[in-house]
């Protein structure tokens, strides 16, 4: 039903966003802001930007979709498809872009990140789903989902708090560096979300799917 919007989202997620972030990272961090950054950290900053944007978010986008009154079934389908693609595409894309930047990150580190953050959670979720359905059926499964729904949002927000908390000293000590790193991230988000929304509206898609598509297309796998 939503094949056009799914195609647009995949195009933005995997063919535009990683490469646009790499280009913006090279432009701003590797050139324009280079005189104001510690020379020994520049490659690390560019690598961080590339890794951040190489895959789409798979959690907070559900919250954003709800806020934009998005179509929940499309959002779920798009996120599930992105999860499947991420397993095979994340490491090669990151490896390619880091290689073009002359930055070395071990392949086992990239593969381990995919296993820890995607493969293992999916396997655990499927095991739990099958066991609940086998013991209590659809009714029990739906009841557990309703119970866990608010907890999942709390867990996501707690993850954000912890991520910023662990880096609190760095944020306070280097506010200008944080601000400079934020520039390519903000440009990337506005560019990709705007492009995704525009392409969807041109193709005739309604806001209920164009909105979530734009947010998913511009999202980053921040974990």
Q: How many independent structural domains does the chain possess?
A: 1
What confidence tens digit (pLDDT) does each residue in 114-160 have? 888 888 988 998 898 899 888 888 888 888 888 887 787 788 788 88
Rounded to whole angstroms, the Cα distance separating 183 from 177 reads 10
Report the pLDDT value the prediction gives residue 81, as an integer from 0 to 100: 92
Domain that holds residue 190: 2-218
Q: Is residue 46 part of a domain?
A: yes
Burial class of residue 118, CB neighbours in 10 A (0-12, 13-18, 19+):
buried
CB distance 39 to 4 below 8 Å: no
CB distance 22 to 223 below 8 Å: no
Q: Is residue 178 part of a domain?
A: yes
Report the pLDDT value the prediction gives residue 223, as an integer from 0 to 100: 66
Rounded to whole angstroms, the Cα distance separating 175 from 181 reads 10
Q: Is residue 223 part of a domain?
A: no
| pTM reported for the whole predicted model | 0.83
Rounded to whole angstroms, the Cα distance separating 162 from 26 reads 29
Q: Is residue 18 part of a domain?
A: yes
Give residue 39's pLDDT band: very low, low, confident or very high (50, 70, 90).
very high
Q: Is residue 39 part of a domain?
A: yes
Q: Is residue 105 part of a domain?
A: yes
CATH number at residue 29: 1.20.1530.20
Look-up: residue for tokens 């934020």? 182
Q: Is residue 61 part of a domain?
A: yes
């Amino acid at each position: 039903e939503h094949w056009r919007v799914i195609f647009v989202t995949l195009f933005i997620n995997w063919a535009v966003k990683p490469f646009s972030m790499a280009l913006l990272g090279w432009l701003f961090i590797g050139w324009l802001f280079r005189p104001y950054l510690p020379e020994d950290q520049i490659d690390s900053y560019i690598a961080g930007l590339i890794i951040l944007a190489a895959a789409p978010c798979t959690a907070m986008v559900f919250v954003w979709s709800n806020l934009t009154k998005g179509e929940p079934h499309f959002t779920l389908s798009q996120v599930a498809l992105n999860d499947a693609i991420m397993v095979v595409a994340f490491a090669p894309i990151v490896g390619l872009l880091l290689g073009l930047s002359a930055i070395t990150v071990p392949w086992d580190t990239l593969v381990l990140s995919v296993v820890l953050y995607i493969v293992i959670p999916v396997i655990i979720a499927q095991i739990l789903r099958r066991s609940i359905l086998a013991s209590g059926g659809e009714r029990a499964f739906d009841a557990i989902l309703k119970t866990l729904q608010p907890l999942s949002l709390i867990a996501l927000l707690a993850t954000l708090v912890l991520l910023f908390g662990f880096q609190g000293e760095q944020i306070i000590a280097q506010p200008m560096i944080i601000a400079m790193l934020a520039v390519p991230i903000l440009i990337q988000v506005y560019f990709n979300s705007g492009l995704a929304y525009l392409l969807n509206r041109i193709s005739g898609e309604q806001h209920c799917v164009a909105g979530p598509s734009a947010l998913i297309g511009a999202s980053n796998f921040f974990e």
